[in-house]
Amino acid sequence: MKMRKPFIYLLLVLSLPALLPTRAFSEELDFINRPANATGLTGLLITTSPFSLEPGAVETGIAIISENSKKPDYTLSEYAAIISVGTGKGTELAIRGSSFSIKSPTAASERGAGDVELSFKWNFLKTNPESPSVPALSMIITGIAPTGDKKTEMNRVQNWGTRVGLSAGTDIGWREHILGIYVDAQMAVQDLSDERYRDLYHTIHAGLLLPISKYRNLQVLIEYALVSGKDVINIDGSDYTAFTYGLRLVSERLNLTVGTQFLHNEMEGYNNSERIIGMLSAKF
């Protein structure tokens, strides 16, 4: 039953466009901008949408993710920098680097570099204005280089890691309103040749985007996340589910997104925790 629940959630999200009364909008007119998410690919805060940057477009951004836990008592902060490039019609490439700091009343504060990630997205099935209930689909591939500080355990992988998956989504409208519905599901694999650090698990993210201003430049984000099947405990922790609520302010060039994430941790000895996520990006 534990393995079936994520796929039930996935089917429910993907079925929403077919259940709601819709009318088509031109993708170029729906939103002023489609910014990158915290991984560097186009999306919400943590969910990856199937859309991509325009060919030749470049987006640079910074993100701060700060997690506060009471049991065990610590504050973990990640500072990330991303560069995303539209490499062709329906494709984009993103590189992401980060550093971490952790503070705890029972131990000395530590800092260290994180791993570097290179991600590629290919939007192989685009939305059809005549059938808005049929979602767009994209393939996602991410490679993880082991540049993280192993001494302070700020690394995600020891030798190598990868994530492979799909992203789906569509924009639906009724009257003067519009709603974006997106979901991605990925399989993560790392260090298969090393028994101590070998891991294979999956992640699912689903999100809603609702513009609440006249020009659709102020948007509400609601997201769900699930990480399941982890055997190796690293800087990302263990299995968890989470809900994220955020606001995004966009223009043709600049984008600002802030949100709060509430995590339900599955690991014994860990209480639920909260994350504050902020991201600022600029498109050229």
CATH number at residue 44: 2.40.160.40
Q: What is the pLDDT of residue 7?
A: 46
Greatest C-alpha distance within the chain? 60
Q: What is the pLDDT of residue 107?
A: 81
What is the distance of C-alpha 277 from the center of its chain? Answer: 11
DSSP string, 144-203: EE--S-TTTT--S-SS-EEEEEEEEEEEEEETTEEEEEEEEEEEEEE-TT-TTT-EEEEE
Q: What is the pLDDT of residue 28?
A: 37
Q: What is the pLDDT of residue 173?
A: 80
Q: What is the pLDDT of residue 30?
A: 57
Q: Which residues of the chain have pLDDT under 50?
A: 1-4, 6-29
Q: How many domains does the chain have?
A: 1
pLDDT digits (tens, 9 = 90+) for 146-156: 999 999 999 99
Residues of the domain holding 169: 4-283
Q: What is the pLDDT of residue 132?
A: 64
Mean pLDDT of the chain: 89
Q: DSSP secondary-structure letter at 87?
A: E
d(CA 65, CA 79): 7
SS3 at position 12: helix
Contact (Cβ atoms closer than 8 angstroms) between residue 84 and residue 221: no
d(CA 273, CA 277): 13
Q: What is the pLDDT of residue 177?
A: 82
pLDDT digits (tens, 9 = 90+) for 192-236: 999 999 999 999 999 999 999 988 899 999 999 999 999 999 999
SS3 at position 14: helix
d(CA 192, CA 190): 6
